[in-house]
Amino acid sequence: MKQTAADFNIDYLPHQPENRKVQIGCIGSGFIMRDCQIPAYRLAGLNPVAVASRNEANAREVAKRFRMTAYSSYSQLLKDESISVIDIAVPPDIQLGVIRDVVKHSHIRGVLAQKPLGMNYAEAVEIVNLCEEAGITLVVNQNMRYDQSIRACKSLLDQNMLGEPVFATMDMRAIPHWMPWQQRLGWVTLRIMSIHHIDAFRFWFGDPVRIFASFRSDPRTEKKFTHADGICTYILEYENGLRATSWDDVWTGPALEGAEPDIGINWRVEGTEGLAKGTLGWPSYPRKTPSTLDFTTTQKPGSWHQPRWKEAWFPDAFAGPMCELLISLETSQPANLNGRDNLKTMALVEACYLSAKEHRAVELAEIIEG
């Protein structure tokens, strides 16, 4: 018989707000907004009602597709006092300027901002402070926390099904679709993909004491533009002895140059009482491929357990951060993905750059207090 998450009381889906009719205004009309966030909101019964972007034609196309209102500019959208929640999906070097405008409008109660939260840790701090001073609830769209296998593993950890975590790994061998703005910023992997994995480790295990990182350029992308963070490896060191490591390989061999591809993302968590391992279905996009979880535990001995589900990271998981924001507005309780907490993810990313540059481990406190 096929096993499901319900057979093990695994909490793998977003919790739902009581009021799903809160009107959401969307700033940005690119891939993430058009193909992931708005479709996920509609599937979850949420209420995106308006869209604006730098390219008015794109905004109108998205509005027509999803039966929304298109505004000629985000400034016009922000004047609509019926919209109390803003979803921002713009390039990182534009995000701070948009949020500076958003906080001037007293009817805005909540903001969902893309990761990375600005260009660097300093900008992230400014964004968080701006929202707090304006009384706006800020949630960061670290949507990999809502990949079903990542969330399911967190549920196993919370139930102590794996015991004390000992060692955790992520192995990404995938070729992302790079956004045009990455070339002007000189970014490839760390702030785009690795930030998801670092944040997932924080979601599972909390904050490490330090991180050590090493990079090399991606042979394929370096032909297009100069960058430092092509292929990234890093180790998170925890005070209790836990080690978590990831290798984020966006080269994966000459798969686009004629060799056979070997592409996928795998993760593994070993504990004193169990082992969990999984796959992320994202590299198969646009084919909808659910992520997977297999686990074994001394508490249910004798076999591997393999719960399965129909939902997939792209696009279903993208509803999770928005649901968190709406629930936070309803309850006045901080969301797990609140902006203040996300500063630690941003700090670890910054620590990776410093570690790779200076060939040493960098403590989280060095960035936060530095």
126 and 186 part of one domain: no
Q: Name residues whose C-beta falls within 8 Å of residue 8's C-beta, 6 or more positions apart in sequence.
A: 305, 307
Whether 79 maps to a domain, the answer reads: yes
Distance CA 300, CA 298 (A): 5
Confidence of residue 166 (pLDDT cuts 50, 70, 90): very high
- Verdict on whether the full-model pTM lies above 0.85: yes
56 and 44 part of one domain: yes
pLDDT at 159 over 90: yes
Confidence of residue 4 (pLDDT cuts 50, 70, 90): confident
Whether 204 maps to a domain, the answer reads: yes
196 and 291 part of one domain: yes
CA-based R_g, the chain, Å: 20
Q: Which structure tokens are listed for 279?
A: 């796959």
For residue range 127-146, list pLDDT tens digits in order. Answer: 999 999 999 999 999 999 99
Measured in degrees and rounded to the nearest 5, phi and psi for residue 116 equal -70, 150
50 and 130 part of one domain: yes
Q: Which structure tokens are listed for 41?
A: 């909101």
pLDDT the model gives residue 177? 85
Whether 326 maps to a domain, the answer reads: no
| Residue from 170, 158, 199, 160 nearest 336 by CA | 199
pLDDT the model gives residue 178? 86
160 and 132 part of one domain: no
Distance CA 354, CA 213 (A): 8
Residue with tokens 């002895």: 241
- Kindly report which listed range (249-253, 274-278, 300-304) carries the lowest average pLDDT score: 300-304
Confidence of residue 1 (pLDDT cuts 50, 70, 90): low
**Average pLDDT score over residue span 58-66:** 98
Q: Which structure tokens are listed for 172?
A: 């990404």
Report percent pLDDT > 90 for the chain.
95
For residue range 242-266, list pLDDT tens digits in order. Answer: 999 999 999 999 999 999 999 999 9
Number of domains making up the chain: 2
Measured in degrees and rounded to the nearest 5, phi and psi for residue 74 equal -70, -25
For 113, 282, 313, the CA distances from 286, given in Å and listed in that order, are 24, 8, 11
Whether 322 maps to a domain, the answer reads: no
Task: Write the DSSP symbol of residue 271.
Answer: E
Q: What is the mean pLDDT of the chain?
A: 96
214 and 355 part of one domain: yes
Distance CA 365, CA 347 (A): 9
| Residue from 36, 89, 87 nearest 317 by CA | 36
**Average pLDDT score over residue span 81-107:** 98
pLDDT at 94 over 70: yes
80 and 169 part of one domain: no
Whether 258 maps to a domain, the answer reads: yes
Whether 1 maps to a domain, the answer reads: no
125 and 243 part of one domain: no
**Average pLDDT score over residue span 179-188:** 94
How many residues does the structure list for the chain?
Answer: 370
Measured in degrees and rounded to the nearest 5, phi and psi for residue 25 equal -100, 130
pLDDT the model gives residue 68? 98
pLDDT at 2 over 90: no
Distance CA 42, CA 55 (A): 23
210 and 265 part of one domain: yes
Query: CATH number of the domain that 228 lies in?
Result: 3.30.360.10
> Could you tell me where the beta strands, DSSP code E, fall in 284-343?
292-297
pLDDT the model gives residue 52? 98
163 and 242 part of one domain: yes
Q: Are 256 and 176 contacting, i.e. CB atoms less than 8 angstroms apart?
A: no
pLDDT the model gives residue 87? 98
**Average pLDDT score over residue span 220-231:** 95
Report percent pLDDT > 70 for the chain.
99
Whether 270 maps to a domain, the answer reads: yes
Q: Which domain holds residue 104?
A: 13-143+331-338
Distance CA 185, CA 162 (A): 41
179 and 167 part of one domain: yes
Whether 7 maps to a domain, the answer reads: no
19 and 108 part of one domain: yes
Query: CATH number of the domain that 70 lies in?
Result: 3.40.50.720
**Average pLDDT score over residue span 53-78:** 97
Sheet holding 47-52, edge to edge: 69-70, 47-52, 23-27, 85-88, 110-114, 137-141
Beta strand 85-88 with 23-27: parallel, antiparallel or unpaired? parallel
pLDDT at 5 over 80: no
